[in-house]
Amino acid sequence: MLHRYFIVFLLQTLLFGGLLAADPGQDADDTSSDKATDPKANIAFEDLPWQYQLGIRSASLMERIVVIDRVVLVPDLATWLDEIGRWKQGVQWPVLLEDDRFTPLFVRRFQPRQLLRRASVGRPLPSDPQALEQLVNRTAVKAWGGDPDADTLDSIYESVAWWIPPGIVATSYSDPAWPAALTLALGRGELLRTIDGDFGAVNSSLDSPGFARLENQITRMFSESGYSWNSVGDDLDAFTICRRMAVRTDTPLSKPLRPDVPAPQQVGGKDPIAITDLICRSPKGMRWAVSGWIFGDHVRSIYMAMCSLFIERDSVLLVSAYSADGAWAAYSIDSAADNLREAGYEVVGVHGNGNATVDAWRRLMMTGPQADVLFMNTSGSAVQLNLARETVGSTRDVPSLDRPLALHMIHSYSLNSPDSITTVGGRWLDRGVYAYVGSCDEPYLTAFVTPLAVANRIGHFAPFLAASRMDIGPMAKPWRIVTIGDPLMLIEPPSRKVRKRVTAAIENAEGSVDVRSGTLLAVRTAMETEDRTVDAETLENLHLLGQDELARTLWSQMQENDVEEDLTAERARAMLPIFFADRNATDYLSAYRLAGEPEGNPREMLWSLWTPRLARLRSSADLALFERALRPTQMADDLQIILPGLVRNTGRMGWNPAVARAMDRATNDYDRMRLKDLLK
């Protein structure tokens, strides 16, 4: 079964390096964990915990696939699919559908030696889902080195002596997240399947008949795969669904399947359960695969899948608002941080109880977590963050990011409505989180694996989502923890990375432009002119390439020239992410004003960068700008931050008029209600 692909050298490399102690707490009685960490033990692969087996299988393919040190940016889906078809078995590179939010996050973190921008292939994709599915399957075969006229992806896997697919990726070709399914199937060597039907809106609860249809389709595709699948530790141990579906279900559970939680009220038969936790289980509730979920538009779903495959996760930030007493003590981030340091991760910060106030959080998050992974312990609701010293934050305190982020968030309800940016989880996803463990309802603290246990497991090559799942005890039953992202994604120790990135002579597709060489040529040409002026596109490209200092120098030169025609709104807007990354609030505000006070991501960055400073703001012009820049879905939260400054300038009589102006602009009843509460 598993011996066909198992690589003894890889197993020795991953496990005999003096890794970490056995999982504490929740896994303390798992003797296989002790064997896995003893360098003198004679370890058989099948004796390892199933999560470690799954992670090592994922790592074994990563070791064999060479990553070309390039990123290709494309303008449309047809071109994206064409570029994916240029992958070969054992050779891949990131391909992104270019936008101005997710693309900079990925490219600046990946730091490719070569950045290409492709022209459109000039033809649309088929509008018929079945025709699109056929084209995607042909592309998948090409990308694994097969003949689309003779092979299928399944037959190619069967012909590779060293490979057994570790799971299935399923999508609907009527759903915009299908590119993520193709990406993960090819990058992880998984089976690619179709799952059609209506399974509810993302923020909704799927009824019992709907869940039965979903579960039946999933079970059928696994049972018909030809591989063993109905217990963990066999061939197929992962399932990824890339499409819209409800986050939870109210399908009735028999009493033996319900967690016996120490709560004032017993868990009821129709209490909400996370779909990603209820699928892939036997009738007795035993898990036979770990599941992950990607949804969203084409741009974001591609970004999430590409991050999972190609972004390195070397650094970790830990923030906890919990006390060190009682049940909270088990969720300490200090011990997790020590564990992570020992494994070789860069721990960029450990902010415990007294240091995790809302003001401290806002200062820390001005440009988002400066880490690849965030462990965050808070409490609250879908729209509220209870932080240290009884301070309270809200959805508005989820920051803009300047790098991709994987998130483990112990918090009630954060993923209650993951498709809504008015909620904590929905906002994290909208900002650029691509892997997320959180709760869709009140989970109770013991539903979460402790940060220390997760840290230990990922250090042993357990995939992130599997490492965050309970294995033993009452909370191992179907419950409310949602797992978003790729279930085969590793956060392996930096010292034990198996992925190779190389510079190779890969022929560029027709119509490809080298962004680096073109940008440097534009800069050289500008430096030879008297005014040293570059256009907005060059400034944007410099930011993508990580050349922020050069962009700032050119911008300063244009300011010194004081030529009104040069200081355009387009150039100013191009400078905004550069000032944001540099935490230069003053220059950001000036450029934001010059750029015409744009909405969207520039406005989000404005609030992230300036929120810690707004309590001291006294300029009438600046306060008026922030009042104009109140965000439509969270005007009450934003206005509450600047009201003290407005009152300082206008007196107490200015309070109610400011609230009334915001109420006139509010776009939803919830915001209007909260604004009404601010009236005095």
pLDDT tens-digit series, residues 369-413 = 999 999 999 999 999 999 999 999 999 999 999 999 999 999 999
Look up residue 96 and give its two tokens: 């992104």
Q: What is the mean pLDDT of residues 321-340?
A: 93
Q: Residue 298 in 3-state DSSP? A: helix
pLDDT at 269: 60
Task: Say how many Å lie between the first and final Cα of the chain, rounded.
Answer: 71
Q: Determine contact, residues 574/324, Cβ cutoff 8 Å.
A: no
- Range name among 305-314, 387-396, 520-529 with the lowest pLDDT average: 520-529
Beta-strand pair 500-502/91-92? unpaired
At residue 33, the pLDDT reads 39
218 pLDDT above the threshold of 70:
yes
Confidence band for 27, pLDDT divided at 50, 70 and 90: very low
Coil, strand, or helix at residue 386?
A: strand
pLDDT above 90 (res 45): no
Quick one: 216 exposed, middle or buried, by C-beta within 10 A (0-12, 13-18, 19+)? Answer: exposed
pLDDT at residue 662 greater than cutoff 80:
yes
Q: What is the mean pLDDT of residues 580-593?
A: 97
Question: pLDDT: is 266 or 622 the higher one?
Answer: 622
Q: Output the DSSP codes for 418-438.
A: TT-TTSHHHHHHHHTEEEEEE
- At residue 307, the pLDDT reads 98
With a cut of 80, say whether residue 24 has pLDDT above it.
no
CB 498 within 8 A of CB 317: no
Q: Which of the pair, 139 or 28, is modelled with greater confidence?
A: 139
pLDDT reading at 10 higher than 80: no
Instruction: Say which residue the tokens 């009450």 belong to.
Output: 636
Q: What is the pLDDT of residue 5?
A: 40
Beta partners for 410?
Answer: 377
Q: pLDDT category, 16, cuts 50, 70, 90?
A: very low
pLDDT confidence of residue 293: 98
Strands 248-249 and 205-206: parallel
Residue 235 backbone phi and psi in degrees, to 5: -70, -55
pLDDT band at 74 (very low <50, low <70, confident <90, very high): very high
Give pLDDT, residue 671.
Answer: 87
Beta carbons of 197 and 266 less than 8 angstroms apart:
no
Tell me the mean pLDDT in the region 421-430: 97
Q: Quick one: average pLDDT of 331-335?
A: 96
Q: Is 231 left (phi over 0), alpha (psi -120 to 50) or beta?
A: beta
Q: In what order do the strands lie in the sheet with 433-439?
A: 346-351, 315-320, 373-377, 405-410, 433-439, 481-484
* Mean pLDDT across the chain: 91
Q: What is the predicted pLDDT for the residue at 22?
A: 39
Q: What is the pLDDT of residue 40?
A: 41
Please give the share of the chain, as a percent, with pLDDT higher than 90.
78
Least confident of 44-53, 92-101, 198-207, 587-596: 44-53
Q: Where residue 365 falls among pLDDT bands split at 50, 70, 90?
A: very high
Place of tokens 């520039």: 602
Least confident of 136-140, 186-190, 502-506: 502-506
Beta carbons within 8 Å of 332's beta carbon, 6+ residues apart: 320, 322, 324, 352, 450, 451, 452
Instruction: Tell whether the model's pLDDT for residue 171 goes beyond 90.
Output: yes
Q: What tokens does 9 get?
A: 């050298």
For residues 429 and 203, is the Cβ–Cβ distance under 8 A?
Answer: no
> CA dist 619 to 276, 498, 594, 627, Å?
49, 54, 17, 12
H helices of 475-584, in order, are: 515-527, 536-544, 548-561, 569-581
- Give me 512's structure tokens: 């490809």
What is the per-residue pLDDT for 221?
A: 98
Structure confidence at residue 26 (pLDDT) = 52
pLDDT at 6 over 70: no
- The number of helix segments (H) and strand segments (E) in the chain equals 26, 23
**Cα–Cα distance measured from residue 95 to residue 116, given in angstroms and rounded to the nearest whole number:** 10
pLDDT digits (tens, 9 = 90+) for 558-577: 998 877 788 999 999 999 99
Nearest to 419, CA basis, from 291, 250, 604, 293: 293
Query: In angstroms, how far is CA 78 from the centroid of its own chain?
Result: 24
Residue-wise pLDDT tens digits, 613-647: 998 888 999 999 999 999 988 899 999 999 988 88
Q: Is the pLDDT of residue 20 over 70?
A: no
Q: Measured between alpha carbons, how far is 284 from 359 in angstroms, rounded to an integer?
A: 47
- The set of residues, in sequence order, having a beta carbon less than 8 Å from that of 600 and lying 6+ positions away, is none
Residue 375's pLDDT is what?
A: 98
Helix, strand, coil: what percent of the chain each, to 5? 45, 15, 40
User: Percent of the chain beyond pLDDT 70?
Assistant: 92
